[in-house]
Amino acid sequence: MSGEASSSNEKDLKFLRIALEVAARSRKNGNHPFGAIIVDENDNILCEGENTVVTGKDCTGHAETNVMRKATNQYTPEELEKSTLYTSTEPCAMCAGAIHWGRMGRMVYALSESGLYDGIGAQDPIHILRLPCRDVFACSDRKFEVAGPFIQDEGWTVHEGFWN
């Protein structure tokens, strides 16, 4: 696994903001405020995923698992290895596993796991699993680029008032 990218670029910020729009739509649709998109090597958005935990009554309905489910049904592993997953918030361990098994080539996120947990507090410790995605990806035998956190203030905005 390669290390953290040192800085973001304008393209990454553009697609992170689109992932944040998906997260805002997820919240508007009655779910947790998380969103993810997959972008190919030519900067085309291949698919997007909202969180559907509440409306789908499925604890695995996270934005990243939903987008990976769509992507692996529509695209080859070779296409996904050349693509980037952009996500509003650092993926949990389950989602990191889905990203790994789906053979995604790169991932960029806005809000860090620690930034999310610091913002929501420990009001419900049963639902907190502190395991940064880089720790999950470090167990992989294949190379994978992880970049983030970037635009954390913008990333937090979609969560404001939700977890109270």
Active site positions, annotated: 64
Rounded-to-integer distance, Cα 9 and Cα 159, Å: 24
| Among the listed residues 64, 55, 78, the one whose alpha carbon sits nearest the alpha carbon of residue 36 | 64
Taking residue 57's Cβ as centre, other Cβ atoms within 10 Å add up to 8
In the β-sheet with 35-39, what is the strand arrangement from edge to edge?
45-50, 35-39, 84-89, 106-111, 145-147
What HEC string does 82-136 produce? CCEEEEEECCCHHHHHHHHHCCCCEEEEEECHHHHHHHHCCCCHHHCCCCCHHHH
Taking residue 51's Cβ as centre, other Cβ atoms within 10 Å add up to 28
